[in-house]
């Protein structure tokens, strides 16, 4: 069986563009920040190359779009699709906390080094460094809570895509969200626990792609590379 092509439903992961806290590595959950000018450039450059009729993300093939309700992700959605409408009969764009960034609680606005120092001062992590995938956030979300809401969204996506694994109807999905929650989504898509080591990187304004192996809804996978549609 060959690798998948565009007839198999896909899930596109769109990370929001740069913010001021993205630049300096601060954990940004519920804090409302605008995209920087560079962040806008990142998203619009991605849109020019990848979004539009006949391109990788073809609005005519999109069945659903889920967007985190944070301001930076809504701005990203607008710049990503711009004048290219992703609306069509049966298509909806939904704001949902299910794909909002991890709630960092007491760690909001801090860097990893600051969090680890604070926890050790409070008598935690004396034998092992803090790891958000394992330990979660004081005053915020645990990995279990994050997994629950992502699994709820994955179930909805499978409900939409499962009847059309043969490509008889275009049912691609787009998630516009945040760096950490999208990496968490990948782990749950692959049915890994959130504390499973899986080093991943997703640049601001970047697009990731998930799908299914062998046109089988029970074989979720991810693309490590994908050929772009022909421009001819």
Alpha carbon 157 to chain centroid, angstroms:
13
31 is in an annotated binding site: no
28 is in an annotated binding site: yes
Q: How far is the C-alpha of 49 from the C-alpha of 45, rounded, in Å?
A: 6
Where in the sequence is the domain holding 141, given as residue range(s)?
A: 11-222
29 is in an annotated binding site: yes
72 is in an annotated binding site: yes
| Active-site residue, 16 included | yes
pLDDT of residue 87: 56
Which is the catalytic residue, given 18, 79, 101, 178? 101
What's the mean pLDDT in 62-71?
95
Residues 6 or more apart whose CB falls under 8 angstroms from that of 122 comprise none
Is 153 inside a domain boundary? Answer: yes
Is 2 inside a domain boundary? Answer: no
Is 142 inside a domain boundary? Answer: yes
Q: How many structural domains is the chain composed of? A: 1
Model confidence over 91-129: pLDDT tens digits? 589 999 999 999 999 999 999 999 999 999 888 988 899
Q: pTM higher than 0.85, yes or no?
A: yes
Is 6 inside a domain boundary? Answer: no
The CATH number assigned to the domain holding 106 equals 3.40.50.1240
Is 230 inside a domain boundary? Answer: no
Is 4 inside a domain boundary? Answer: no
Which is the catalytic residue, given 16, 18, 141, 178? 16
| Active-site residue, 79 included | no
Is 77 inside a domain boundary? Answer: yes
Is 1 inside a domain boundary? Answer: no
DSSP secondary structure string for all residues of the chain: -PPP-TTS--EEEEE----HHHHTT---SS---PPPHHHHHHHHHHHHHHBSTTSSB-GGGEEEEEE-SSHHHHHHHHHHHTTS----TT-EEEE-GGGSPP--GGGTT--HHHHHHHHHHTT--SSS---HHHH--TTS--HHHHHHHHHHHHHHHHHHHGGGTTSSS--EEEEEE-HHHHHHHHHHHTT--TTS-------TT-EEEEEEGGG-TTSEEE-S--PPPP--
Model confidence over 185-231: pLDDT tens digits? 999 999 999 999 999 999 999 999 999 999 999 999 999 888 877 76
102 is in an annotated binding site: yes
């Amino acid at each position: 069986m060959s690798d998948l092509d565009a007839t198999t439903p896909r899930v596109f992961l769109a990370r929001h563009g740069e913010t001021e806290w993205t630049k300096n590595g601060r954990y940004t959950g519920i804090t409302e920040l605008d995209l920087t000018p560079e962040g806008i450039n990142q998203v619009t450059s991605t849109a020019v190359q990848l979004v539009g009729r006949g391109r990788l993300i073809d609005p005519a093939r999109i069945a659903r779009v889920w967007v985190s309700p944070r301001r930076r992700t809504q701005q990203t959605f607008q710049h990503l699709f711009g004048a290219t409408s992703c609306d069509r009969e049966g298509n909806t764009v939904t704001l949902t906390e299910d794909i909002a960034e991890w709630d960092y609680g007491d760690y909001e606005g801090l860097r990893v080094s600051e969090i680890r120092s604070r926890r050790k001062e409070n008598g935690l992590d004396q034998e092992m460094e803090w790891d958000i995938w394992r330990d979660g956030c004081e005053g915020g979300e645990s990995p279990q809570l994050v997994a629950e809401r992502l699994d709820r969204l994955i179930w909805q996506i499978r409900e939409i895509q499962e009847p059309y694994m043969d490509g008889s109807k275009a049912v691609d999905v787009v998630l516009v969200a945040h760096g950490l929650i999208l990496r968490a989504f990948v782990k749950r898509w692959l049915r890994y626990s959130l504390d499973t080591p899986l080093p991943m990187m997703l640049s601001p304004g970047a697009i990731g792609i998930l799908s299914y192996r062998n046109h089988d809804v029970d074989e979720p996978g991810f693309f490590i590379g994908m050929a772009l549609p022909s421009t001819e």
